[in-house]
Every structure is written in structure tokens, then in C-alpha cells.
Amino acid sequence: AAAESTLAETLRGLSLTTPLPKYPNCYPEVNPVDVYRSHLTSILTEVTGVDAAIIYPALQWTQTLEKGDLVLPIPALRVKGKKPAELAAEWVAKFPESPLVHKPTVAATFLQFFFKVDKLSEILIPSILKQQTFFGQNPYLGLKDPGDSSKGKKRIIIEFSSPNIAKPFHAGHLRSTIIGGFLSNLYEGAGWDVIRVNYLGDWGKQYGLLALGFEKYGNEEALQVDPINHLYEIYVKINKDLTAEKEEIGKLEAEGKDASHIKNEGLDEQARRYFKAMTDNDEKAIAQWARFRDLSIKRYKETYARLNIHFDDYSGESQVKQERMDFAADKMAKMSVSEVSEGAVIVDFSKHFPGKAGKSLERPIIKKKDGTALYLTRDISEMMQRDDKYHFDKMMYVVASAQDLHLKQLFAIIGLMGYPELAAKCQHINFGLVLGMSTRKGTVKFLDDILRDVGEKMHEVMQKNQAKYEQVENPLATADILGISSVMVQDMSGKRINNYEFNMEAMTSFEGDTGPYLQYAHARLCSITRRAGLTPAEIATANLSLLTESHAQNLIRVISQYPDVVQNTLKTLEPTTILTYLFKMTHTLSSSYDHLRIVGSERELMLARMALYDAARVVLNNGMRLLGLTPVDRM
Ligand code: ARG
């Protein structure tokens, strides 16, 4: 409401009528560019005679400022009988004088609109300084009814990270964590009710084996101190024993000797029995497993906190109820989705979808010969469980593209089982591989190893500039944050689907579009603010019409795009959409410093420039936090 009244005042000051006409997806209180869309739509309905409902959504934002601030593709207005060039000439001639935009220019079949930047800064900068951390967010988008907040928010489940207990946290989990954290922030900022789910790999015979391993190799103290590494060590050792046992059986049988005593009493059989006890809810077995799980989660939480990530629900394969799986199995059999083949239950997709489509989905097993359920079986029931528990409007699975087939099979089976609407609400957010992910101490096993290593590297980099280093209050903590930023920014630089090379040197460099560069840009803005020593109240009195230099004007125009960039990101679902923008903005910024000095300028000019830098800092800070980074004030 506060932002709304400031906007109304500003618009009155510009002698524009308020309230602005309402269009769907037009939110001038949170997106200043929507003031322009709305204003242009009013003018263009007069000029072209086309309906506002067609014009408004046709006004597009641009990636490059040379093309204008908004463009209109003339064919989008679907005016018959005249060529776009004729229409353009006609409309430009009729275009009235406006306080907000210059007369449009024509480029091919587009009308290009350039904002009058003096007015833009009067609308934009106060709006940013007022909204602060909220600038760029749009709480209306996630409303069930955008016109009526009492109807509540739409709900999205974002399932991400999902590591496997006692196994390495590999690159796939790292990317899922980074991308999932980002998507959660994005949807939260768009006003959705976001449920973050971590679907742990925590069930199966291997967890019976792990318990046996703990009896043999476990150490209570080590478990308490470092559960993740200790469980992994045990897991590796006991798996070695298992391999040796299998070799022994092979050897005996090759020699024609009896191996049944090993088969009946060996590790593999014991693990099977232990896991059977777990599925039968045997108190002792369950208690031991639950301890491993709880201690691991506790440690995961600490690591996630360093990445600004939390989960609302630590679900996992173990949390899928047996009744659910029985119900699903029944349903699949009754509806002839599944069939028995060589004693196992399978889904033969070629029988459900003709041609290539069916073939490409293959013939997944739903239940093994011995009756055990599988990864896919659990995912089917887990999805239905979540549907019941959360009544979500949308669900995203942030999982490596190595599991494309698995998720396609999952969604297809849910559809065949008679829940096509449920399947349609689900989306697989996939991503490529990280190549060569190793630290200086060898191949990576756990997220903590990576973070520690890049943190140490950044600490070395920081120490190269002793003078600055000495000013940083807590250099180790800062190095840690910078290290995390390095990893995250490298991960988010390309499109999700692309593979990339894990490159410690490149990611920790200040040259190029890296995490440290972005952090440096932020710290520099903070330092300008500190040195100017002006209060927000003083800055609020700035005379923004003094921002006349082309560098100032370009910066204002770039900054004004931020809410549109965020909204566009809801379509691309790519962190790189935000990141590319932030680099564009910081480049514009760094080329401005020499032209827009604070120190040595007259007070009036100082105030105006400070307001601009403040607005830039808010946008950079918001963008970084949206990505999951922690902006630093000094480095
Ligand atoms: N724990 C699995 C893995 O590490 C990822 C889980 C993905 N999510 C799912 N619903 N299947 O491969």
C-alpha cells in the first residue's frame, strides 16, 4: 500500500492520471516499467484503433538498450490490409506528445519506444529505495486469483538436492541443490507458497548392509562427530567385504564346491534379513537406521545453511508407505498398466503408446521377482502421497538429466493410472554434468570438501592484497562466502542443460564473469555508500533530474529492467537469465564510476548520484540473494 501511494504521488507530479487503467499482468506498484506499458497502451489504442487487450501483452522488453526500452512487433496487432511499414508511418505521425516516452522509431516491423529518462528516474529510483529487498518481487503472480488475495496463494513443491545417505554427495546433488534453492527463491518472490522437499536416498538393502557395517567397523564417537564421513567409510569397507564374499562364492562354485553356507549365512543374506526387519518395523533395526538418518540430516542442515538453503520436508524413499505401494500395484494391475513378465512386474510402454514414443519409454520393472519394490515404484507412490498431503498446484523435480528416462516413465505411469491432471502438474527440471570435479586433495566426495577447498583458495587470493585484507573484519568467514559464490556462479553461468568443466582457477578469479567479480561489484557499492556517509533521508531529497549524463541514463534504464528480467526468469527457469543480467548491470556500473564521481562533486550532484548508486546496490543485492548468494559488504 505504501508503494502504491508513493507511485500515485509520483504520477500526479508528472501530471499523469491515476489510477492507471488495469490490465491483466500489469503491476505498476511493483514494476515501474508497467507504468510505461499501461501509458503506451492508452496512447496506442487511440492511435491504432486496436483493442488494449491485444496491445498490452504485445509490448515487449528488450535485451539491448539500443533497441529501445520497449518494442511493439507491428504484426502482433493483427491489423489487416496494410503493410507494417505503412502502419508504422501512419502511427508515428499520429503519435502524440507524451511526458514519459519519446516519439517511437521504426526498425523493420517493430516500433521502438525510448523512455524519457528524467521521468523514468523519478518513477524508478524512489520505488526501489522504498521497496528495498522487495524490489523485483511480485507477490501477485502466485495468487490463485490475482485480483483477490483472500483466495490464497498457489502452492508449489520443489524437490531438490536429494542425496543418498552414506554415499558421496556428487556433482549431480550439488547442481540440484543450487538450482533448486534458486527456483524456491524465485517462486517465493513471485508470491507462491513454496514447499522445499528433500527426497533422501535412505532405503533399500544397502541400509541393512550399512547397519551390519556399523556393528563391525563403527565407532560411536566418530559417528557423533562426523556422521557423513564416518558412515561413508563404513559403507566403503563393508562393500569391500561384500565383494570379497561374492568372489569367494564364485571361486567355490567354479571349483564345483558347495557355497551354500556363505549364501545362507553370509553378509549378503544378513543384509537382506536386516533390511527385511526394517521393512517389518522391527524396533531395534529401525532405531539404528533412524539414528544414521537423523545424524546425517543434522549435518546436511549445517551445510545447506551455508548455502542459504532450508527444507520444509525431509522426505525420502523410506517415507513411502507400504499400503501406498500395495494400492498403486493393485491399481496398475487392474488397469492393465502393468503385467507379469518372467515372474517380475513390469510396464511395457510399447503396449500403451504406439511407435517410437512407447519404445523410447522402454519396459521398466515395478516389482522384482522376489517382491521387492524399486526406485521407480517408490516414486509413483511418493507422488500420490505428496498430492494428498500438500494439494499442490505445481511440482518440480530438480534432478540430473541422467534421470530423464526415469522421470518420463514416472509421469507416464501416473497418467496411465488415471491421474493425468496430477502428471500434468509435475515438471522435471533437468541439468547437465559437471566434468572433472576434484579438489586439490583428490576427487570430491562431499559438499563440505568442495566448499572448504574453494574457501581456502579464496583466502589465498584475498591475502594477495594485504592492505585490503587487513580491513576485512572476519577474513575467513568472507573467504568462505566468496568460495561458495565462486562455485555457485560457475554453476549458474550456462544453461542448465549444458555440461561444464569444474575449474577452480577460473571460478575464483576476479577477471571475467565470476562470483568474486560480482561480490566485488557489490562491496564497491557498499564502500561508496560508507564513504559518502549520507543518510537515507538525505538521499530521499535528491534532485534526480541532475542525472543527465549518458552513463547515468544507461544505468537507470538497465536497472529498470530488473523486475521484467525476474518475470522472464519464471518462464526460462534458468539461473543464467538473472546472472547474465547482473553481469550486464555491473559492467554498465563499472564503466560509470569515472564519469559519475561522488567525492569532489557538489552536494546536489552527490545526492543524486548516491540515490542512483543506492538503487543499483539494491538491485544487485536482490539479484544475488535471489540466486542464493550472500552479498558481502567488504572484501
Ligand atoms: N537420490 C536420488 C539420486 O541420488 C535422486 C532423487 C531424485 N528424486 C526423485 N524423486 N527420484 O540419484
Series of mean pLDDT values for 10-residue runs along the chain (635 residues) = 64 65 88 95 96 96 93 96 96 96 96 97 96 97 90 98 93 96 98 98 96 97 95 95 97 95 96 95 97 96 95 98 96 98 97 96 96 95 98 98 98 98 98 84 76 95 94 95 98 98 94 97 97 96 97 98 97 98 98 96 97 98 98 95
Ligand 1 atom 5, closest CA: 162
Stretch (H or E) spanning 223: helix 220-225
| The domain defined by 441-627 carries CATH number 3.40.30.10 | no
Q: How far apart are CA 602 and CA 536, in angstroms?
A: 18
Q: Rounded to a whole number, what is the distance in angstroms from the first to the last CA of the chain?
A: 37
pLDDT for the residue numbered 583: 98
Q: How far apart are CA 315 and CA 500, in angstroms?
A: 30
Centre of ligand 1 to C-alpha 626, Å, is: 25
User: Is there a cis peptide before residue 19, judged by omega within 30 degrees of 0?
Assistant: yes
Counting from 1 in the atom list of ligand 1, the atom nearest the Cα of 406 is: 11
pLDDT for the residue numbered 1: 46
Centre of ligand 1 to C-alpha 315, Å, is: 11
Ligand 1 atom 3, closest CA: 163
Centre of ligand 1 to C-alpha 86, Å, is: 57
Centre of ligand 1 to C-alpha 356, Å, is: 26
Ligand 1 atom 1, closest CA: 201
Q: How far apart are CA 411 and CA 425, in angstroms?
A: 10
Question: What number does CATH give the domain 2-115?
Answer: 3.30.1360.70
User: Hey, which of 199, 202, 395 would you mutate to test ligand 1's pocket, going by the most ligand atoms within 8 Å of its Cβ?
Assistant: 199
pLDDT for the residue numbered 10: 76
Q: Which residues are catalytic?
A: 167, 170, 173
Counting from 1 in the atom list of ligand 1, the atom nearest the Cα of 201 is: 1
Q: Where are the alpha helices (DSSP H) in 307-337?
A: 322-334
**Residues within 6 Å of ligand 1 by CB:** 159, 162, 164, 199, 201, 379, 397, 399
Closest listed residue to residue 137, CA positions, set 183, 188, 184: 188
Q: DSSP for 541-602? A: T--GGG--SHHHHHHHHHHHTHHHHHHHHHHH--HHHHHHHHHHHHHHHHTTTTTS--TTS-
Fold of 158-315+376-429: Rossmann fold (3.40.50)
**DSSP state at residue 140:** T
Centre of ligand 1 to C-alpha 292, Å, is: 19
Contact 317/336 with Cβ under 8 angstroms?
Answer: no
Question: Locate cell 577452480: which residue?
Answer: 504
What residue spans define the domains of the chain?
2-115, 158-315+376-429, 441-627
Q: Where are the alpha helices (DSSP H) in 256-397?
A: 260-265, 267-279, 283-306, 322-334, 355-360, 375-390
Counting from 1 in the atom list of ligand 1, the atom nearest the Cα of 407 is: 11
Centre of ligand 1 to C-alpha 376, Å, is: 10
Centre of ligand 1 to C-alpha 489, Å, is: 24
Residue 333: phi and psi, rounded to 5, are -70, -50
Query: What contacts 61, CB < 8 A, 6 or more positions away?
Result: 33, 69, 70, 561, 564, 568
Q: How far apart are CA 7 and CA 30, in angstroms?
A: 9
**DSSP state at residue 371:** S
ipTM of this predicted structure:
0.99
**Exposure string (b/e) for 579-599, b if CB count within 10 Å is 16 or more?**
bbbbbbbbebbeebeeebebe
Ligand 1 atom 4, closest CA: 163
User: Hey, which of 320, 399, 406, 426 would you mutate to test ligand 1's pocket, going by the most ligand atoms within 8 Å of its Cβ?
Assistant: 399
Ligand 1 atom 10, closest CA: 379
Counting from 1 in the atom list of ligand 1, the atom nearest the Cα of 375 is: 11
User: Hey, which of 313, 403, 447 would you mutate to test ligand 1's pocket, going by the most ligand atoms within 8 Å of its Cβ?
Assistant: 403
Counting from 1 in the atom list of ligand 1, the atom nearest the Cα of 379 is: 10
Let me know how long the chain is.
635
Centre of ligand 1 to C-alpha 162, Å, is: 6
Closest listed residue to residue 483, CA positions, set 491, 473, 521: 491
Ligand 1 atom 11, closest CA: 379
Question: Locate cell 568474486: which residue?
Answer: 516
Contact 230/223 with Cβ under 8 angstroms?
Answer: yes
